[in-house]
Structure 1
Amino acid sequence: MSFLNPVNEPVLRFSSTDAGAPQINYNARTAGDVKSVLKACLVTGYGSTASAGWTAVNEAGNVIEFSSTSTEMLDYRLGVDDTSTSSTTWYYQYKNTRTNPKNNTISKEYTYSNRAHSGNRWDLIVSDKGFYFIETLYNNVINQLMSRLTFMGQIKSALVDILSENMSFWSVGLSSTNNVPARFYAKGTSAEFYQKIGGNATGFSFTSVNKGLFNEEKLPADNVAVDLVGELYVGMEGGVMGSYAGLLISTFRNRDDMYGTKTTHFNGRPVLYFCNGISWATTDNTFRFLVGVMIYLDYWEY
């Protein structure tokens, strides 16, 4: 499970548009709404949709931990404390010791959004080693659907010996909580995310082959020479420590090509595409911080 010996892992996609899927009322958030979605997708299934085959452990009210059957995940349990109506706290257990990742309390409130819009939705894409949770809401500033992306799980490592933990957590995009990362490639404390690999848990940053197109971490509007797509890497002091399985970052020649959430194809493989964006009061800054994201739907390489 590394750059030197990659392994393909199948993935499953779940969506609020599926028949019988649990719903999140973004206009009236409740305690346990995120927990219910995760449990249905990972453990119990819903309607005619089977679960991802994970197990629920240490469940008490709206607190729950999830255990995967993957041999690389036997020492881990991924947990959420969803007892609040205004936020969800994410954490994990490694060898029965709890870790609270940095910026792990994620707001359920969305500023500058139409929380009752018919296009609002959630999607979850999961492998045996982690998952991406996508929440999409209609943004009132630019009148387009924009998404928040939350990830928890293992990464594809560039290390020969991982040395104990390999675990990452971050949530990027729509939020009204200032200390939660607002965007990819941002500087300062607002951009801090959690990564534990090679015995380290500090000094990491996002990087990609198309990061250089971002001027001061902002996407240039309608002036990119070509469309570019690249993997998202874990960087540290100019080096690459790993990459996020199945995830691609996109830049576009035309801004209008960025919007929406859709199932499409890239390099002959199925992907879920969505526009990752931030909550900002002005049209200009909202536009400039948009990032296109694609996640493969058939398998991820670890």
Structure 2
Amino acid sequence: MSLPVTVYRWDDAGAPSLTGRTQADFIAIIKACLATGYGTKAAAGWTVAFEDAGTTQLVLRNDTVNGSGGFLHLYASGANAAGGTLLMVSAKNMTALGAYTDRGWISAIKSQSTQHTQWVIFATSKGFYFYLKTSANTTAVGSGSYEYFFFAGDFQSTLINDAGNFVIVKQLQNSDDITASSSVETIQSIAPNNSVCKIYDADGGNGSLTYYASKGLLYDLSTTVDGSAEDKGLQHYLQPWSLVTTSQFTPDRVGTPAVNSTKSPSLRGFLPGLMNSSFSGYGNKPWPAIETFNNAQHLGIGNGYNIQLWLNMETWYD
């Protein structure tokens, strides 16, 4: 069932601020957008499962009717402070703070400088993208440094009733990462065949496989190309951002090759609303770069050099 996307921004009336640049600021922003709302904007439909403001921790749960009911734990690494690191972890279930069933790998973000305070969240009741941009760079492609763009929630699975589809996808990752570095830790800087997340078995078992990015078509992470496809008379050919095993013969927990597995299939699913284009460009265009594909507006997500990824800002999970 398709779900409408709500766009939340730092410059909305009543929006929470990141000017303090603390882990608590990040938590307040994500909580307001997903669970409590702010100003005239309603929340996306998540709920607060656990919270401890004294230790700077929050656990959110996505919709249990339209979604998987997965858990997202946000917590401070060290003291709550300007430029402090916020850690994030997904889990199938939680019974208390830090008490996980089938947790994913730990990821990290932070506000690197006073210029890194502009945020945008694109959210539904099942999943969301968080985009942190710098005010110092007004181009559509961004600066590529500490401009985090990550997904948390239910990916769009190729299986019906996939019990393992609640994840965080943020970076090239194959284990816990409690550091928040620069451009290598964003979706738009992930190359094809980079590992990105651990996904548990679709049947509810506790087996898991490492899944990789399959962006297809094209990837160019280091060349600045000016102009848009429209300027050049070219068309965008779009392909979903897919989650795949490193090999179709990777065995699942009972030894079945992924290509034939119903527990951990080779093509597990897609990140909702995120498309990779055959065209790379927009190096000299102002932010935001917005184009219409299939009658829906899409935002171009830059990597500091060009734009190849486009995020549907209207509906996901079609």
Q: Taking structure 2 as the reference length, what is the TM-score of the superposition?
A: 0.71
CA separation in 1, counterparts of 2:51 and 2:73?
9
**Counterpart residue number, 2:165:** 166
Report whether the alignment pairs 1:57 with 2:38: no
Identity %: 19
Report whether the alignment pairs 1:149 with 2:149: yes
**Counterpart residue number, 1:196:** 200
**How do 1:89-238 residues align onto structure 2 when only pairs under 5 Å count?**
89-96=87-94, 97-98=99-100, 100-109=103-112, 115-116=114-115, 121-138=118-135, 145-146=142-143, 147-160=147-160, 162=162, 164-172=163-171, 176=181, 180=185, 183-185=189-191, 191-198=195-202, 201-210=208-217, 213-214=218-219, 221=225, 227-236=236-245, 237-238=247-248
Pick one of 287, 290, 293 that aligns with 1:266: 293
C-alpha distance 194-291 of structure 1, shift in aligned 2 (>3 A): farther
Return the letter of the residue paired with 2:191. Y
Return the letter of the residue paired with 2:210. G
How many Å apart are 1:260 and its aligned residue?
2.2
C-alpha distance 29-227 of structure 1, shift in aligned 2 (>3 A): same
1:64-92 deviation digits (Å, cap 9, x = unpaired): 11123332546422221146432111123
Three-state SS of the structure 2 residue aligned to 1:58 is strand
C-alpha distance 109-266 of structure 1, shift in aligned 2 (>3 A): same
CA separation in 2, counterparts of 1:196 and 1:259?
40
Query: Conserved in 2, the CA contact under 8 Å of 1:170 and 1:194?
Result: no
Query: Conserved in 2, the CA contact under 8 Å of 1:107 and 1:177?
Result: no
C-alpha distance 222-195 of structure 1, shift in aligned 2 (>3 A): farther
Return the letter of the residue paired with 1:229. L
Query: Conserved in 2, the CA contact under 8 Å of 1:148 and 1:276?
Result: no
Three-state SS of the structure 1 residue aligned to 2:310 is strand
Number of matched pairs: 270
**Counterpart residue number, 2:259:** none
Tell me which moved more, 71-80 or 13-22: 71-80
Report whether the alignment pairs 1:298 with 2:292: no
CA separation in 1, counterparts of 2:46 and 2:115?
32
**Counterpart residue number, 1:23:** 17
Tell me which moved more, 77-86 or 46-55: 77-86
C-alpha distance 181-299 of structure 1, shift in aligned 2 (>3 A): closer
Return the letter of the residue paired with 1:54. W
Tell me which moved more, 13-22 or 99-108: 99-108
Return the letter of the residue paired with 2:181. S
Query: Conserved in 2, the CA contact under 8 Å of 1:168 and 1:195?
Result: yes
Three-state SS of the structure 2 residue aligned to 1:256 is coil
**Counterpart residue number, 2:60:** 66
CA separation in 1, counterparts of 2:129 and 2:57?
19
How many Å apart are 1:262 and its aligned residue?
4.2
How many Å apart are 1:250 and its aligned residue?
3.0
How many Å apart are 1:218 and its aligned residue?
5.3
Three-state SS of the structure 2 residue aligned to 1:145 is coil
CA separation in 2, counterparts of 1:139 and 1:101?
34
Return the letter of the residue paired with 2:28. S
CA separation in 2, counterparts of 1:103 and 1:221?
34
Three-state SS of the structure 1 residue aligned to 2:38 is coil
Return the letter of the residue paired with 1:92. S
Unpaired runs of at least 5, structure 2: 173-179, 249-265
Query: Conserved in 2, the CA contact under 8 Å of 1:167 and 1:196?
Result: no
**Counterpart residue number, 2:283:** 256
CA separation in 1, counterparts of 2:109 and 2:309?
20
How many Å apart are 1:185 and its aligned residue?
1.5
Query: Conserved in 2, the CA contact under 8 Å of 1:219 and 1:291?
Result: no
**Counterpart residue number, 1:243:** 270
> Over aligned residues, Cα RMSD in angstroms?
3.4
CA separation in 1, counterparts of 2:25 and 2:41?
19
Three-state SS of the structure 2 residue aligned to 1:42 is helix
